[in-house]
A and B are shown apart, each in its own frame.
Chain A
């Protein structure tokens, strides 16, 4: 007890050392510029280096290098999904996001946005045969027009949906809009001309319309609290515009055109003469205003999710019953084929199956996206359902089957009147579980252009720059969809137990 003062003293000294070290670390200038981008977006922005896939190359990589060297730091790339770049930079996952990010009033309202460093035009790409009739969005009434989700072009298409009756089809990548245009799944693509040029080169038979539909700018985005770094970056960009380093980068990636010197001229060295940003969406006045604006779209997406899930489940149940019957009653060869099918479907990702059905089979059969989604979900869950039913059929006591046989029921009659009804009771709980899982897994179909609840929510979140309200709304919708089914299943089980 004589040394009782020692322990607090040691702790106090340790705490002091920790605080001093932390302050020194904080006081040290950062050595890295952590920048986020989506390498899935591909060339010319950010993509894996074909010679060394551990590295990234592209226009944005060079911009990041330019900014980092101006700051005296080393650039470090951090991969992030395109639609979550805004949220990630806001929460501090990286210092700046550079990934063909478009300037918009909504972004300026909630993030620190750099000086624009590239000007682009939104243009329509169509099949050569349609070049004369589809020149503007007004010519595309009732037609499907593809674009990238959560972009300026998507906002423009949504506006044109009300104005001209076009049908926006959002994609998650910039390759499939053009390949789908070539095979006739969509009638036009609206994207910036950097992407449009690449799309036309990759797909013979497509043509870019010369008339621009809109003008936009690429910017870097930073956390709203990081305006000091943003100002430093603006200064670096202004210097790079004047001394030709930015032009060299743009030329290196074959993106130079007459719009760029005009942009550089308009922007003064101190970055005060910003070009006016375009965008169909005004900055969001309030979260509730945004909710009011997005609620009809969310409700519509909820209906799509519900329809998709219910019809897929019906398909899955039918398929599951057939597979399970074949596995329980079929000859050895049939059992083996069905087992292989179940293992292949269960052993490969649902997303891959959706890609194969929608994109992979496109040269053979061009399924509409919704139908491809139904088939993909139905086939995938059919395999899982079949295992539930097989297990349930085999769990019906042998004594029940013996009793049916001694009464003279045939195998078919035994299945219909004795085995299947009892198996169904055993299968109901896991089936309900599967339906709820299917309801949530249906969000994967957004990857093949079906805008369902989660996709619509991510568009909403990207627009307002926060996942809190959209996430709560979306979660609430899923619960509203799933809880009645779970409740119904519990009631049925209770009735059976009574």
Chain B
């Protein structure tokens, strides 16, 4: 039974890549202001779960509910469902995937202007605020290739947050960070959670998971087991 403040409710989820079952019968929830860490060895399906929640990959069985929006197996996402989904979910990829031809600032205001139809000036002001909030305000005019791994990750977080989603997914956020930066990132995630956002984070790093997560799940034999 989902809690009242549940933002993400994953139930009996099965995911496949080609014919191979990657995830079988995964169920978990994440409440508002909660950081859930998904741990497990490579290939256990952590990223696949995040991609399914973000609507990038289809669901084989089970359901995913995000802030009341249900994604079901066997159905391609309708255009309006997809629009609603992307209002609710932001995703930060392992390799950031910042748009290489745009500055950090432009990466952040692109979706507010073209998806949410915000005015350009207002969107740019908010984007700058977000970058400053995440400690990369002075890098607003740099291109992605000019950013360090940590800076690129913060810009990617700002880009995902710019459309104001209640749920933020982060795939292996510590992969390209040194230990000092990992500590900074854990603090940032706790701060975002304290502002009322829900975060689901995949990681190999137990120390990082313990530093930032309110709950840790471990992927084992295609299932998510509480640690």
Contact = CB atoms under 8 A, between A and B. Distances in A.
B100 interface: yes
A403 interface: yes
Interface in B28-67: 51, 54-56
A409 B97 contact: no
A407 interface: yes
A408 interface: yes
Contacts of A421: 101
B114 interface: yes
A276 interface: no
A389 to B, nearest CB: 16
Given A407-B111, A408-B86, A402 B56 contact: yes
Interface string A407-421: 111100100011001
B208 interface: no
Contact of B87 (A408, A409, A418): A408
A406 B54 contact: yes
A55 interface: no
A462 B93 CA distance: 67
Contact of A413 (B82, B115, B159): B115
A409 B56 contact: no
Contacts of A418: 99
Contacts of A404: 99
A403 B98 CA distance: 8
Interface residues of A, number: 19
Nearest to A425: B101
Interface in A414-464: 417-418, 421-422, 425
B93 A403 contact: yes
A296 interface: no
Contact of A407 (B79, B100, B101, B159): B159
B10 interface: no
Contacts of A422: 99-101
A490 B121 CA distance: 33
A400 B101 CA distance: 11
B114 A417 contact: yes
B91 interface: yes
A43 B84 CA distance: 77
Contact of A406 (B79, B98, B110, B160): B160
A15 B91 CA distance: 84
Nearest to A413: B114
Nearest to A396: B100
B90 interface: yes
A235 B86 CA distance: 95
B97 A402 contact: yes
A282 B79 CA distance: 77
B163 interface: yes
Contacts of A496: 101
A53 interface: no
A403 B99 contact: yes
Contacts of A347: none
A399 B97 contact: yes
Contacts of B133: none
A8 interface: no
A406 B90 contact: yes
Interface in B179-216: none
A409 B93 contact: no
Contacts of B110: 407, 409, 417
Given A402-B56, A402-B93, A417-B114, A408 B163 contact: yes
A397 B79 CA distance: 23
A405 interface: yes
Contacts of A403: 91, 93, 97-99, 159
A399 B92 CA distance: 11
A273 B54 CA distance: 97
B112 to A, nearest CB: 9
A270 to B, nearest CB: 81
Interface in A371-407: 397, 399-400, 402-407
A406 B91 contact: yes
B83 interface: yes
Contacts of A399: 93, 95, 97
Nearest to B79: A410
A423 to B, nearest CB: 10
B89 interface: yes
A397 B99 CA distance: 10
A492 to B, nearest CB: 12
Contacts of B100: 400, 422
Contact of B83 (A397, A406, A408, A425): A408
Nearest to B100: A422
A35 to B, nearest CB: 63
A341 to B, nearest CB: 30
Interface centre among A403, A409, A418 (most CB of B within 10 A): A403
Contacts of B82: 408
Contacts of B89: 406
A405 B115 contact: no
A295 to B, nearest CB: 45
Interface in B109-155: 110-111, 114-116
A101 to B, nearest CB: 60
A405 to B, nearest CB: 6
A418 B115 CA distance: 13
- CB-based closest 9 A-B pairs: A408-B86, A407-B111, A403-B97, A399-B97, A408-B115, A406-B91, A421-B101, A406-B54, A413-B114
20 contacts: A399-B93, A400-B100, A402-B93, A403-B93, A403-B98, A403-B99, A403-B159, A405-B86, A406-B54, A406-B55, A406-B86, A407-B86, A407-B110, A408-B111, A408-B115, A409-B110, A409-B115, A413-B115, A417-B99, A417-B114
Given A400-B100, A408-B115, A496-B101, 20 more contacts: A397-B97, A400-B99, A402-B51, A402-B93, A402-B97, A403-B97, A403-B98, A403-B99, A403-B159, A405-B86, A406-B86, A407-B110, A408-B83, A408-B86, A408-B116, A413-B115, A421-B101, A422-B99, A422-B100, A425-B101
